[in-house]
Structure 1
Amino acid sequence: MVLAAGRGERMRPLTDTTPKPLLTVRGQPLMQWPMQALARGGFGRQLVNTAWLGEKISAQFGAQVNWPGLPRVSLAYSNEAQDFGQALETAGGIVRALPQLAEVFWVVAGDVFAPDFVFTQEAVQRFAASPALAHLWLVPNPTHNPSGDFGLSATGQVLNLSKGAAGCDHTFSTIALYKRAFFADCGLPAGNPQGVALALAPLLRAAMDRGQVTGEVYAGDWTDVGTPERLAHLNGGQV
């Protein structure tokens, strides 16, 4: 699942007419980077959730994409704005899409640039065989998030630490594997028929406290493209 429903308020005015995941990074739409990386790993069935200017995303990619040198990608869409008039936040959007997702599935944000990340079948198999319900890839705290999001134990358990606390040395990259069971107790039925907005972070923190979230560090290039300045930096100074 590729998350592409956000409004991108901090990117305005760029996002007034273009959905943030379609902003160009190094010659192609930002969200195309993780989509192609997934395809390269053999994950040819992808679902994209949309809200703000979502019709432009589906018009860009359609129902099927054939990128040169990559396996064919079949695309489905979860149109949150069309169905409910608004984005459903991360967890609400995932639960909305659950009926179309496998028992184990990737989630990646369409507005994060991580060109070195490799999506592998082996990672899925290893996670599926583990007792964990979520597996997160973390990055060392970037300058824009110096207080961090989570800690990581020596045994690979992601720790629910307060921002700025000792050991809160990692930021969530947004790249993760989940089992459908992770969302079983979120209070919403699969499909989220009422269109309830629900944040992901509280669910993750509660699961961490139960010892159900594992993780590892991703050391490659990573940028949360959250401001025009970060976008310009990736493009060599050009927005």
Structure 2
Amino acid sequence: MKAMILAAGLGTRMRPLTDHCPKPLLRAGGNPLIVHHLERLRAAGIRDVVINVSYLAEQVIEALGDGSEFGMAIHWSHETTPLETGGGIHQALPLLGEAPFVLVNGDIWCDLDLATLPGLGHDLAHLVLVDNPAHHATGDFHLDRHGRVHEHGEPRLTYAGLGVIDPALVANQPPGAFALAPLLRAAMALHRVSGQHHRGAWVDVGTPERLADLDRRLRS
């Protein structure tokens, strides 16, 4: 299985830290955020990783190279302007192939063992969901007792920015910038999205304060 790390965002919520440094290279626990993902993917046996880049892309490419330092092969999808999640995946499809792949938001940290992520079967996506953090108290989706994800229902959980995606979810969309969430909701309406509730450690590293908190936790 391949993986894709989303790393093309502008990092506006992280300013001023991202004025001259792309968000994936911000450090927590001694390593850049994106290196934590690479190490966890490698531990799960994943050796082929696609990374999309845009803002300060050259810095990310120079830091990670071809991936050989991390025991894997990195393939780069360069976006002239950020294409959002859906558009970024669509552009990267020639690198990803036709098989389901692990999708990771570059600005999260999670201790989930990625080797435990399931296959998709007839589903178009499998989402990792977490308890709602204080900054997103209303959550995103409902996970029922059968492991199916729905747009509506209670209780609600937050999408962790981590899951498994079938390329068919975005393949028929026109090129350009578009969001992934509407396509996920459409797949949920067709009962083709599964999920799991991760109760371990997870951080949306979206602000300088949360980055500093994660850094303290990892160093301790």
TM-score, normalised on structure 2? Answer: 0.93
Q: Does 1:4 align with 2:7?
A: yes
Spell out, residue by residue over 1:75-98, the C-alpha distance to the aligned partner (whole angstroms, 9 max, x if none): 1100102xxxx1000000000001
- Residue 46 of structure 1 corresponds to 49
The amino acid of 1:73's aligned partner reads M
Q: Does 1:226 align with 2:206?
A: yes
Aligned pairs (5 A) from 1:53-64: 53-64=56-67
Q: Does 1:127 align with 2:114?
A: no
| RMSD, aligned CA | 1.4
Q: For 1:180 and 1:110, locate their aligned partners in 2 and report how far apart those are by CA, in whole Å.
A: 19
Runs of 4+ that moved beyond 6 A: none
Q: Percent identity?
A: 41
Aligned pairs (5 A) from 1:58-73: 58-67=61-70, 72-73=71-72
The amino acid of 1:77's aligned partner reads W
Please tell me whether the aligned partners of residues 139 and 172 of structure 1 are also in contact (alpha carbons under 8 angstroms). Answer: yes
Q: For 1:168 and 1:183, locate their aligned partners in 2 and report how far apart those are by CA, in whole Å.
A: 28
Q: For 2:162 and 2:216, locate their aligned partners in 1 and report how far apart those are by CA, in whole Å.
A: 25
Aligned pairs (5 A) from 1:87-166: 87-102=82-97, 103-114=99-110, 116-120=111-115, 123=117, 126-128=118-120, 130-161=121-152
Please tell me whether the aligned partners of residues 149 and 168 of structure 1 are also in contact (alpha carbons under 8 angstroms). Answer: no
The amino acid of 1:30's aligned partner reads L
* C-alpha displacement of 1:181: 1.7
Please tell me whether the aligned partners of residues 137 and 216 of structure 1 are also in contact (alpha carbons under 8 angstroms). Answer: yes
Unaligned stretches of 5+ in structure 1? none
Q: For 2:138 and 2:72, locate their aligned partners in 1 and report how far apart those are by CA, in whole Å.
A: 38
Q: For 2:35 and 2:155, locate their aligned partners in 1 and report how far apart those are by CA, in whole Å.
A: 31
Equivalent position SS for 2:102:
strand
Number of residue-to-residue matches in the alignment: 213
The amino acid of 1:152's aligned partner reads L
- Residue 193 of structure 2 corresponds to 213
- Residue 13 of structure 1 corresponds to 16
Please tell me whether the aligned partners of residues 141 and 159 of structure 2 are also in contact (alpha carbons under 8 angstroms). Answer: yes
* C-alpha displacement of 1:65: 2.9
* C-alpha displacement of 1:155: 0.7
* C-alpha displacement of 1:169: 1.9
Please tell me whether the aligned partners of residues 90 and 171 of structure 2 are also in contact (alpha carbons under 8 angstroms). Answer: no
Q: For 1:94 and 1:11, locate their aligned partners in 2 and report how far apart those are by CA, in whole Å.
A: 23
The amino acid of 1:167's aligned partner reads E
Please tell me whether the aligned partners of residues 104 and 178 of structure 1 are also in contact (alpha carbons under 8 angstroms). Answer: yes
* C-alpha displacement of 1:31: 1.0
* C-alpha displacement of 1:168: 4.4
Please tell me whether the aligned partners of residues 148 and 171 of structure 1 are also in contact (alpha carbons under 8 angstroms). Answer: yes
Spell out, residue by residue over 1:134-163, the C-alpha distance to the aligned partner (whole angstroms, 9 max, x if none): 0000001111100000000111110112xx
Q: For 1:119 and 1:106, locate their aligned partners in 2 and report how far apart those are by CA, in whole Å.
A: 9
Q: For 1:76 and 1:216, locate their aligned partners in 2 and report how far apart those are by CA, in whole Å.
A: 28
